Structure formats: C-alpha cells, structure tokens
Amino acid sequence: MKIQIINGPNLNLLGVREKSIYGNSDFEAYLKELRKRYKNLTIDYYQSNVEGEIINKLHETGFTYDGIVLNAGAYTHTSIAIADAIAAINTPVIEVHISNVYKREEFRHSSMLAANCKGVIAGFGMDSYRLAIESLLK
Ligand code: DQA
C-alpha cells in the first residue's frame, strides 16, 4: 500500500513554529517513527509552501497511490483550487490538522477542502497523521 503525506505552507517549520500549538517535534523525526511503525507501507512525504506545487503533487499521486494524507495548512481555509484538485483525482484524501482548528480563530473553522475529502482529523497533535493512516487501512 502506498500513502502520500502532503504538508502545506509553514509546516516545514514544525518544531520551531508556535510550539505551544504545534509541539516540539519536526516532521522528519515524526515521519521516521511512522515509517518504523508501518514497515509494510510505502509512506512518501512532500512539503511545499506553494499552492500550485501542492496541486501538482495531488495530480501526480492522485491516480496511483492508495491514500493521501493532506495538511494544507492555511490553504485549507481559502483554496478552491486545492478543493478542485481533490475532486479531480481518484485517490481518497484525508484532511488532517495538528491543532483543533475549532478551538481557534473563527476563520479556521471552515474548510474549503473537507467536502471533497473522505474525512477530516483534527486536534490530536502529530498523532492526527497516524490516525489518518489508520483510517486508510480500514
Ligand atoms: C493547521 C491549522 C491551520 O489553520 C493553520 O493555518 C496551519 C496548521 C494544523 O495543522 O493545525 O498552518 O493546518
């Protein structure tokens, strides 16, 4: 089984950025743990701060991978273009957030992407990614 994780803008700064919200771990360290835990899965990782590059990655993996775990960061709340890309591909996409966006500012309460995703997982810290993978395995 092949799973693509895509992280959007500012998520390259995990472990540095707003630690009280996003925690102390950088994504690469967490990814190592995930790959160790799911040895039988191919887990590919991509991060970009650029909307079009996220769309390109969705197109590239969205017809051959078994699942995509997408944390689109702030684009979640704004991007019709990413929503259209999710609708255009065949691979199921799980929307993920590290923080509980519903406990935060109101502009984070709406997602442009959620309606085109298989489901949404938010608020479990980095564990949100693992929970998304678990949901794809079922
Ligand atoms: C986030 C939540 C978004 O509102 C925010 O813009 C992010 C990270 C999260 O993982 O909690 O960049 O997607």
Percent with pLDDT over 90 in the chain: 94
Question: Can you list the residues of the chain whose pLDDT is less than 50?
Answer: none
Q: Please give the pLDDT value at position 101.
A: 98
CA of 120 to the centre of ligand 1 (A): 13
Contact criterion met (CB below 8 Å) for 12 and 73: no
The tokens for 59 are 């197109």
| Average pLDDT taken over every residue of the chain | 97
Q: Please give the pLDDT value at position 8.
A: 98
Question: Which one of the listed residues 30, 65, 75, 97 is annotated catalytic?
Answer: 97
Beta-ladder partners of 68: 4, 93
* Residue range 74-95, pLDDT digits in tens: 999 999 999 999 999 999 999 9
The tokens for 98 are 């590290």
End-to-end Cα, the chain, rounded Å: 12
pTM for the full model? 0.97
Shortest-distance Cα residue to atom 9 of ligand 1: 97
- Give 2-137's CATH code, choosing from 3.40.50.9100, 3.90.550.10, 2.60.40.10, 1.20.1250.20: 3.40.50.9100
